[in-house]
Amino acid sequence: MSDQPAVFARNTSNSIRFLLGICAASPLCLLFYTLQAELPFGFWLQALGGPDVEDVRQLVFFYSLLPRASVAILSGASLGLAGCVLQHVLRNQLAEPTTLGVSAGASTALVVATLWLPFLLDYGAEWVAVAGSTVATALVFALSWRQRLEPVAIILAGLIVSLYCGAFSSVVSFFYYERLSNVFIWSTGTLNQNDWSAVCYLLPRTVGAVILALVFARQLEILGMGDEQARSLGVSTGTARLMLVGLAIFVSAAVVSSVGVLGFVGLAAPSVARMVGVRRIRPRLLASALAGAFLLFLTDQFVQIAGASFHEIPTGVATAVLGSPLLLWLVARRTLRAGVPRQFSEQRLRTMTVGSRAPLGWIAGSLLILLMISLLLGQSGSGWNLAIGTDAQSLLEWRFPRIASAFAAGAMLAVAGVLMQRLTGNVMASPEVLGISSGASLGVIVALFLFDANEGILWRFGPAMAGATLVLTILLSLGRRTEYTPQRMILTGIALGTLLGAASSLAIASGDPRTQTLLGWMAGSTYYVTMEEAKAALLIAGLLIPTTLFLERWLTIAPLGDVVARELGVSLQRSRLIIILLAASLTSASTLLVGPLSFVGLMAPHISRLMGLRKPAQQILGAAVVGAAIFTLADFVGRNVLFPYQVPAGMLATFIGGPYLMWLMSK
């Protein structure tokens, strides 16, 4: 009997080795298949010795396929190592270059340098990427500092910074699409190669990073024990942490500057190393690097094989699609419950509330004035002018659809935010942050491919509502297991949004001409809204928003939990279902008008609360007016600030709303 545990352990170890052997052989088989499809095996030796310049197959073999495989291995190893280092330094299994905003900061810095500071690129794109990564990481640490860099807080801050960097890149690309088209193709994480320069660039950096990580493995292991124990062993925690985080930033920025953003490889590789039982720090560093190389290499081989039959997918999009479910799984693990930062509670918000209550009449009056200005004032070829008389009538048919759709979308998105915050008891919840808007967008894209129909905004409402309802149901089902913990709900929502956004990017990257018709809508432009669609949007808002006022009792009781609700005789299952359907409907209708990301669903409920409107009905009306005002103003500014160029209202609201979300996180 005493030998049974040893036999079991030995059999388990053999099984793991067998599985690892199969996993290691599979990418080699795929590589052989890819190379053989391009160049028959009998010509490989000749191509390796010196390709025949008159044989295109040998040139592609030597200068494209082999460098691409090498770059995949080196990039994966670098990101796997960076993820392992960051997870040990921060004692956080969710830490990696993507979730900490390192990759997004590097990509944004390269975009800025390409447009406005091209002379910096003369010193090397690598250092520009390192500077951007450093700024983004410093911002993440600043946002989570008051939470004492607790695991969930720092990841939440990193994902918020990544969201804002993405919004900034979207705004910039709208104005400079021609100059940045190649930059944004690169930023999706494409591994296509034309020579061996990227291999020569990455090889010394990857090898050097592995050597340095192994040299400082002792400090890394001690940091994983905690600051107090590290100081008792004579390790300067500040210096060691700064040095090791700097190493991870440098190697991640090198990958981004070379091939673009490859998300979640640094998250998956250390997880694989843990799952196969690697416990000691030096073997784990090596195992993480090897796992990262294996995962990215395998993913890229599948991408190439799929691209032979369909349109080739950027490898970075594929890694995001595969990595987001892993993030969801890690967020749901019980081991992450420790270290959850203090909740964003109603009591905390009361300390931020202004002293006096702003009357709804005064706010509505301000909105009315804004609507009149937006309708009558604008720019033309001769400058600013005030439309009166016949001019006003002629301009009305052009301006009214845009203003009406912005007004309705802002009001509906704000009310959806109130419903989400009341339903989950989480004052940082909103349709954009929780991925519900992304679900609506994906529903429209799926319907476009399945039914091959594109008849304007109205036909998209059903698919959009289906997608939003599905995401909201999944989110609440997952949140129920953890009693709707605010930070975990946000992380889950952002992970869902990342997955759905990657799936949408995958559809757009397919090259199907049908998706091109959706690009302006996804940017949040109201330019193509017709008069009929604007009237329909006002009708939907006029029906749904008043309906939410009848749910005041449910919205008051829902945040108190199931036990209190049962004692008060309220069936939360039925009430939650109705609230979910209303929130999904409001989100779908507003997303169809102004795109999937704006942060108005987060800002408007807070501004309403800060003005002293705390009861559900008051907050709904206040948020609706504030949301309508924000989007009306965004549309007015977008139409005139860079006339004759147009800035989408949704994009402009996103650019403004990002800092608000960061400020709220810091509080």
Residue type, 487: Q
Tens-place pLDDT, residues 112-133: 888 888 888 888 888 999 999 9
Share of residues in the chain with pLDDT > 90 (%): 15
Task: Supply the pLDDT for residue 571.
Answer: 64
- Same fold flag, 71-333 and 405-666: yes
How confident is residue 197, by pLDDT bands cut at 50, 70 and 90? very high
**What average pLDDT does range 195-206 have in this prediction?**
94
For 71-333, CATH number? 1.10.3470.10
Range of lowest pLDDT (331-340, 380-389, 417-426, 472-481): 331-340
Task: Supply the pLDDT for residue 153.
Answer: 74
Q: In this structure, which CATH number among 2.40.50.100, 3.40.50.170, 3.40.50.300, 1.10.3470.10 belongs to the domain 405-666?
A: 1.10.3470.10
Range of lowest pLDDT (44-53, 238-247, 514-523, 535-544): 514-523
Please give the Cα distance from 608 to 393 (Å, whole number).
34
The distance of Cα 104 from the centroid of its chain, to the nearest Å, equals 10
DSSP conformation class of 194: S
**What average pLDDT does range 442-462 have in this prediction?**
70
Please give the Cα distance from 648 to 630 (Å, whole number).
13
Please give the Cα distance from 220 to 200 (Å, whole number).
29
Please give the Cα distance from 415 to 618 (Å, whole number).
11
Range of lowest pLDDT (207-216, 307-316, 484-493): 484-493
Closest CA to 426 of 611, 612, 606: 606
Q: Maximum Cα–Cα distance for the chain, whole Å?
A: 98
How confident is residue 365, by pLDDT bands cut at 50, 70 and 90? confident
Range of lowest pLDDT (30-39, 348-357, 547-556): 348-357
Task: Supply the pLDDT for residue 567.
Answer: 67
Q: Return the domain boundaries, the chain.
A: 71-333, 405-666
Q: Which of 177-191, 224-238, 240-254, 440-454 holds the top average pLDDT?
A: 240-254
Other Cβ atoms within 10 Å of 296 Cβ, number: 33
Q: Which of 109-123, 246-260, 321-335, 627-641 holds the top average pLDDT?
A: 246-260
How confident is residue 360, by pLDDT bands cut at 50, 70 and 90? low
Range of lowest pLDDT (122-126, 310-314, 511-515): 511-515
- Mean pLDDT value across the chain: 78
Tens-place pLDDT, residues 545-582: 999 988 887 787 766 666 666 666 666 667 777 888 88
For the entire predicted model, the pTM comes to 0.78
Dig out the tokens for 202 from the structure.
């990455």
Contacts of residue 652, defined as CB under 8 A and 6 or more positions apart, other chains included, come to: 171, 524, 634, 637, 638
Contacts of residue 519, defined as CB under 8 A and 6 or more positions apart, other chains included, come to: 508
Task: Supply the pLDDT for residue 508.
Answer: 63
Reported as type and span, the H/E element at residue 168 is helix 151-175
Contacts of residue 108, defined as CB under 8 A and 6 or more positions apart, other chains included, come to: 132, 136, 165, 168, 169
Coil/strand/helix, residue 63: helix
Q: Are 276 and 100 in contact, with CB atoms under 8 Å apart?
A: no
